[in-house]
């Protein structure tokens, strides 16, 4: 009889998309369930995943709301407990975030094996909280900031998780000699900064280079950007984060992006050099640490949003475009970093880790 695994996730695409990838890796060898909150459901394909909705409240430092939130977490923990027992779950995999609190607590009460996943270069607070209880934690590096030294032996290093269709895309060979195909990615939560502040830079670049713009946006800013590009006669394509934008990614030869772990992994795998502008309010500044991990391997450039002006951003992009040797070096380093990343190798490592423990 197959072991039964529950993957706990929710919130942003940074949590939910890796959970979906774990699901695909495990579904042939185990009986797999998946839990998410309502926010995360938009990133899941309900025809494929067996999903349980658990809406864990975000714990805020509000004395009036705090007692209610704790009471709700207790209620959800009880519901999680009975869900786990009813479905005879043997193993819990948590992709982090406060959304997993009730399930991790229930899993510990029921003495289940718990595995954690940390894609960022800073240990998440929920993962740090449950570190003592887990068997292993899947990471992309042994050098995770703020990671408790006494639990370093729990790290299982895997190659960055990618959606399976990425492996069927040929490595990006588009260079920037003829046309700048610029991808702009704000992440699953969007980035008003990109929608509002990049326009002047794009306008400046369009006067100097032949451009094709692929820009992620949302319904709120769609019409504004559409009117801007049409009025300036700039070739463009707007899309939503939920779209399968790997097609746009694979056709791009330069990118401006936030520094979510999944997006940086995908861009690096497809050899698309990128200028990372980390979200400055990310917890523990983890987006900056994610970008720094790749910058130290000479795979990208970084700009601090707090110090960006239109002039600085324009000057930086022109510098990137004009310095062909540096650009090509980034592509080469990306290729060297990613060449061992294959679906089968990751699959084997995950399944072996779970079966060994």
Of 182, 163, 174, residue with least CA distance to 242: 163
Tens-digit pLDDT profile for residues 195-238: 777 889 999 999 999 999 999 888 888 898 999 999 999 999 99
Fold of 4-159+342-356: Rossmann fold (3.40.50)
How many whole angstroms separate alpha carbon 99 and alpha carbon 124?
12
pLDDT for 49 = 54
How many whole angstroms separate alpha carbon 125 and alpha carbon 214?
34
Dihedrals φ, ψ of 44, to 5°? -110, 145
Fold of 167-338: Rossmann fold (3.40.50)
**Rounded mean pLDDT of the chain?**
88
Other CB atoms within 10 Å distance of the CB of residue 7: 28
Q: Is 262 helix (H, G, I), strand (E, B) or coil?
A: helix
- List 5's β-bridge partners, or say none: 32, 91
Tens-digit pLDDT profile for residues 162-183: 999 899 887 666 778 778 999 9
Q: Are 265 and 341 in contact (CB under 8 A)?
A: no
Task: Write the secondary structure of 113-136 as one string of H (helix), E (strand) and C (coil).
Answer: EEEEEECCCECCHHHHHCHHHCCE
Tens-digit pLDDT profile for residues 264-281: 999 999 999 999 999 988
Domain with CATH 3.40.50.2000 in the chain: 4-159+342-356, 167-338
- Using 50, 70 and 90 to split pLDDT, how confident is the model at 156? very high
Q: Which of 174-183, 223-232, 248-257, 332-341 has the lowest mean pLDDT?
A: 174-183
Alpha helices in the chain (DSSP H): 13-26, 38-41, 66-86, 101-109, 125-129, 192-206, 219-231, 246-251, 261-269, 286-295, 310-322, 324-338, 343-356
Q: Are 291 and 259 in contact (CB under 8 A)?
A: yes
Of 54, 34, 31, residue with least CA distance to 45: 34
How many whole angstroms separate alpha carbon 23 and alpha carbon 163?
11
The strands making up 300-302's β-sheet, listed across from edge to edge, are 235-239, 211-216, 180-185, 254-257, 274-276, 300-302
Q: Are 301 and 276 in contact (CB under 8 A)?
A: yes
Residue 250: pLDDT above 60? yes
Q: Which residues contact 228 (CB under 8 A, 6 or more apart)?
A: 199
Tens-digit pLDDT profile for residues 3-54: 999 999 987 888 889 999 999 999 999 999 998 888 777 777 655 557 777 7
HSE-up (13 A, CA, CB side) for residue 80: 31
Dihedrals φ, ψ of 157, to 5°? -80, 125
């Amino acid at each position: 009889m197959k072991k039964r695994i529950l993957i706990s996730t929710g919130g942003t695409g940074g949590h939910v998309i890796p959970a979906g990838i774990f699901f695909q890796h495990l579904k042939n060898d185990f009986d797999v369930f998946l839990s998410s909150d309502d926010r995360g459901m938009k990133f899941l394909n309900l025809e494929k995943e067996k999903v349980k909705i658990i809406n864990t409240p975000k714990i805020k430092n509000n004395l009036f709301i705090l007692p209610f939130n704790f009471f709700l977490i207790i209620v959800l923990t009880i519901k999680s407990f009975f869900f786990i027992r009813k479905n005879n779950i043997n193993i819990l995999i948590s992709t982090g975030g406060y959304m997993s609190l009730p399930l991790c607590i229930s899993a510990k009460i029921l003495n289940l094996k718990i595995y954690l996943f940390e894609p960022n270069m800073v240990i998440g607070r929920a993962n740090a909280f449950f570190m003592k209880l887990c068997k292993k934690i899947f990471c992309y590096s042994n050098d995770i900031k703020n990671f408790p030294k006494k639990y370093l032996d729990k790290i299982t290093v895997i190659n960055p998780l990618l959606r399976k269709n990425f492996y069927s895309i040929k490595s990006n060979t588009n260079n920037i000699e003829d046309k700048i195909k610029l991808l702009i990615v704000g992440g699953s939560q969007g980035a008003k900064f990109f929608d509002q502040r990049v326009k002047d830079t794009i306008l400046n670049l369009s006067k100097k280079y032949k451009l094709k713009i692929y820009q992620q946006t949302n319904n709120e800013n769609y019409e504004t950007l559409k009117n801007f590009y049409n009025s300036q006669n700039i070739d463009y394509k707007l899309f939503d984060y939920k779209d399968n934008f790997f097609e746009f990614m694979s056709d791009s030869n330069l990118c401006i992006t936030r520094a979510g772990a999944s997006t940086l992994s995908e861009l690096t795998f497809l050899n698309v050099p990128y200028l990372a502008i980390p979200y400055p309010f990310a917890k523990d500044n983890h987006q900056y640490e994610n970008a720094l991990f790749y910058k130290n391997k000479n795979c990208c450039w970084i700009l601090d949003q707090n110090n960006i002006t239109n002039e600085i951003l324009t000057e930086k992009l022109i510098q990137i475009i004009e310095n062909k040797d540096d650009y090509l070096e980034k592509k080469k380093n990306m290729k060297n970093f990613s060449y061992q990343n294959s679906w089968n190798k990751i699959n084997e490592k995950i399944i072996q880790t779970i079966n060994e423990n």
